[in-house]
Amino acid sequence: MSEEQKAIFLYHVKQTDLELIFQGRFDCFQDSSLLSRVIEIIQQKQIKRVVIQTKDVLGWDSSLAIILYRVRKETERVHIPIVWTESTTGLKRLIELAFSVDRKPPVVQKKTLSFLEQIGKTGVLIYQSCCAGFSFLKEVMLSLGRLLSGRAVIRKVDFLFALEDAGYKAVPIVSLISFMVGLILAFVGAVQLKVFGAHIYVASLVTIGMTRIMGAIMIGVIMAGRTGASYAAAIGTMQVNEEVDALKTMGISISDFLVLPRVLALTLTMPFLTILADFMGMIGGGAVGVFMLGIAPQEYWKLSVEALSLSHFLVGVFHGLVFGVVIALCGCYYGVHSGRDANSVGVSTTKAVVSAIVWMIVMTGLITLVCEVIGI
């Protein structure tokens, strides 16, 4: 590079003006000491104006823009005007553009609501949530009606994939958790029953507990975290990718195409998983009874069969059926109403799992109350 093309950065103070003169080519200019000195001069009280001259600049890159940006930023801080003389038009416009937009997000002042306003706002939110939930249930029921009449827009392969995911793929985790629950239930019961010498009734305790309620609840919790979350995440991701909007544009019902296959699949598989959970829980209880309490396998099996009744078994299976509907609806609802970013998908997935578990407990209370009233 010739002497005429070298970057020259000059400054001098003339009365109350600070003149900055740039000459040559400013490619990768890195002399920070000069810039520091200029900023120190600007901070002095006697400087009233900064004059920038870039007439003789032959070429420049971001290094010159950074120098001028820092000078402009310092002059704005101390409220000193800048005068451009014979400037490079593009460079001046770039610096002005950099300061034309406020990079700091506006501070939103949160309005503090009174107690009555807060109650009213909460009531409105609850009302809107209920309306959205009932509207979703209505759409699902209409889709079911269209399915029964043969008019639903649903693919068999989607139903089979959902059935596969909620069916045999869930068997390992269901078997393991149910076995451990039965084992724990038998161990906890045995600790108290051994005090009275009635540890032989562990078989009845495990059988009745698992078949009537524990098996269905544990499967419900497992499937809410496994399958319900999967439904919410999958449909929520489709919202992010605008696939749901594409289906609506083509006139395809979302409840038919996305919700109905998942609801049907989980509703059909939950009773069978509940039966599997009951069986594995009884085996877990048998492991405690045989190997820790010294009960003969034949005796434990006999006591379990005697304690097993059709009413307990059917109540547990019905719980599983209801839980399947609840989990599928919660997962699909929060997936359909998910936002348009990754964080919204995560929030929807969390809400789907929590809501499914809460509604499972509510439905358990209602079913138990009804069974108590009718004497089952």
Q: What are phi and psi of 88, to 5 degrees?
A: -75, 120
Q: Categorize the per-residue pLDDT at 28 as very low, low, confident or very high, splitting at 50, 70 and 90.
A: low
- pLDDT at residue 358 tops 90: yes
The residue whose two tokens read 């001259």 is 53
Query: For residue 164, how many C-alpha atoms fall within 13 Å in the half-sphere facing its CB?
Result: 6
Contact (CB, 8 A) for 253 and 155: no
- Residue-averaged pLDDT of the chain: 83
Q: In whole angstroms, what is the distance from residue 32 CA to residue 97 CA? A: 24
- pLDDT higher than threshold 60 for residue 112: yes
Check pLDDT > 80 for residue 273: yes
Q: Stretch 273-284: mean pLDDT, rounded? A: 90
Within 8 A by CB and 6+ apart from 327, the residues are 220, 223, 224, 227, 228, 266, 270, 356, 360
Whether residue 3 is predicted with pLDDT greater than 60 in this model: the reply is: no
pLDDT surpassing 80 at residue 127: yes
Mean pLDDT score, 47-63:
75
pLDDT at 353 over 90: yes
Instruction: Supply φ then ψ for residue 170, to 5 degrees.
Output: -90, -5
| Residue 1 pLDDT level (bands cut at 50, 70, 90) | very low
Q: Is the dihedral of CA 151, 152, 158, 160 positive or negative?
A: negative
Per domain, the residue ranges of the chain are: 3-98, 130-374
SS3 state at 183: helix
Look at residue 363 in the predicted model and tell me its pLDDT: 92
User: In this predicted structure, what is the pLDDT of residue 105?
Assistant: 65
Q: What is the pLDDT of residues 297-308, one digit of tens each?
A: 888 888 888 888
More confident residue, 299 or 65: 299
Helix ranges restricted to H, the chain: 32-42, 62-77, 89-98, 115-148, 156-166, 171-193, 202-209, 215-223, 229-240, 243-249, 254, 260-291, 297-307, 310-336, 342-374
Query: CB count, 10 Å around CB of 137?
Result: 13
For domain 3-98, give the CATH superfamily. Answer: STAS domain (3.30.750.24)
CB 268 within 8 A of CB 159: no
Tell the residue number behind the tokens 């809410």, with chain if given.
224
| 197-236 pLDDT tens trace | 777 778 888 888 888 888 899 999 999 988 999 999 999 9
Mean pLDDT value across residues 122-147: 90
Give the pLDDT band of residue 66 (cuts 50, 70, 90). Answer: confident
CB atoms within 10 A of CB 235: 26
Which residues does 211 contact at the CB level (< 8 Å), separation at least 6?
278, 308, 312, 313, 316
Query: Is the confidence at residue 2, as pLDDT, over 60?
Result: no
Check whether 250 has a pLDDT greater than 60.
yes
